[in-house]
Amino acid sequence: MRLLLLSVGLFLFFVPLRADVTGAVTLKGQPKSKDETFLAEASGCGESPIRHTENWKIGKKGEFADVVVWIVDPKFNDRIGARVPDEVTLKQIGCRYDPHVIAVTAMIPFKIVNGDPTLHNIRAKVYNGPGQPPGDTVFNFGQSYQGQTDEKQFDQPGIYTLQCDVHSWMQCWVMVLPQAGVFSQDCCAVTDDGGTFKLPLTGILLDGDYKIDAWHPRFLQPLEQTIHVKNGTAKVNLEFDGAKSF
């Protein structure tokens, strides 16, 4: 029994605890714009036609959701073998996109699922900034039945919007980041309703100083901060200023 306990103790001693690169994003002050309520009446779109724009998801303490966070120019541990990245899935539920903001790596496929008993048309366009006309259409296809699933990818980094030609109020944002190696998809995340994020990079990201950027659709420029990664882990807090929003 003592030998067994000793073996278990040694095993626990040598198993590293996962910490990853984690953090929280908050919004200081009030944004310059507000979400608006509107009616979106269409068959197959759920029971309630009352909708609101999804520009702002802010908690009571400024917790800021739908913020894309990513490591700039990451350096990876060559001794770690490649792994299949977590699958990114975008659903159309109640004639809205869920989630409202996603982050993917260029050349990495993601899934688009029609969860509604109605036709949707997905048109992806290049985003050129606020007040500017949209850029080229990257892809445009229909999903005619509930449960239809298609895989798409973006070949070039940038910011894109997805819109439905059938339901004009439907829109979501896609931040496409450059390929930086086999762990690129692990280097980006979108904050949850609590404003938090986690990049699963323990044992993958080499120790050192890195730039970490954060972007939200209602800001012209991303935030940038330097983090120090030690033993594969780091923690960071980022704060947007509502006065700089649009």
Q: What Cα–Cα distance (Å) separates residue 123 from each residue in 100, 120, 170, 181, 200?
A: 15, 10, 11, 28, 31
pLDDT, one tens digit per residue, over 157-202 is: 999 999 999 999 999 999 999 998 888 999 999 999 999 999 998 8
> Taking 90 as the threshold, does the pLDDT of residue 212 lie above it?
yes
- The pLDDT of residue 5 is above 60: no
For the cut 70, the answer to whether the pLDDT of residue 6 exceeds it is: no
* Residue pair 173/101 in contact by the 8 Å Cβ criterion: yes
pLDDT at res. 10: 42
Q: Residue 149 above 90 pLDDT? A: yes
- Give yes or no for residue 90 having a pLDDT over 50: yes
Question: Model-level pTM?
Answer: 0.90
Q: From CA 119, how far away is CA 153, in angstroms rounded?
A: 21
Residue 104 near residue 176 (C-beta atoms within 8 A): yes
Cis check: omega of the bond before 85, within 30 degrees of 0: no
User: Could you give the CA distance from residue 139 to residue 126 in angstroms, rounded to a whole number?
Assistant: 10
Strand, coil or helix: 67:
coil
Give me the pLDDT at residue 19, please: 59
CB distance 26 to 236 below 8 Å = no
Q: Tell me the average pLDDT of the chain.
A: 91
Yes or no: say if 26 and 64 are a contact pair by the CB < 8 Å rule.
yes
Gap between the Cα atoms of 187 and 111, Å rounded: 19
Q: How confident is the model at residue 12 (pLDDT cuts 50, 70, 90)?
A: very low
Tell me whether the omega of the peptide bond preceding residue 31 falls within 30 degrees of 0, making it cis: no
CATH topology of domain 19-244: Immunoglobulin-like (2.60.40)
48 falls in which pLDDT band (50, 70, 90)? confident
Extents of the domains making up the chain? 19-244
